[in-house]
Amino acid sequence: MNETVIYNGGGWWFALALVNAGLAEGKGRGRLAWFLLSLLLGPFATLIIVASAPSRR
């Protein structure tokens, strides 16, 4: 049971990291950097990306 929960949670965490990478790219930020950061921070990275202003580049 616990192994299944960890596996499913890990899948959602990875999917969220992919979504965050796309959000970050849309705001003019580095996709790979935010993907890796999202693997560590998860939903907190989503909040940071959504709350941040777009890059001026």
Domain for residue 12, yes or no?
Answer: yes
* Coil, strand or helix at 19: helix
Query: What is the model's pLDDT at position 57?
Result: 67
Domain for residue 31, yes or no?
Answer: yes
Q: What is the pLDDT of residues 6-31, one digit of tens each?
A: 667 778 899 999 999 999 999 999 99
Domain for residue 54, yes or no?
Answer: no
Domain for residue 10, yes or no?
Answer: yes
Domain for residue 51, yes or no?
Answer: no
How many CA atoms lie within 13 Å of 9's alpha carbon, on the beta-carbon side?
8
Total domain count, the chain = 1
- Spatial neighbors of 25 by CB under 8 A, at least 6 apart, are 31, 34
Cα torsion at 45, 51, 56, 57 (round to 10°)? 20
First vs last Cα of the chain: how many Å apart?
Answer: 48
Range of the domain at 34: 2-41
Domain for residue 6, yes or no?
Answer: yes
Domain for residue 28, yes or no?
Answer: yes
Q: What is the pLDDT of residues 29-50, one digit of tens each?
A: 999 999 999 999 999 999 999 9
Domain for residue 50, yes or no?
Answer: no
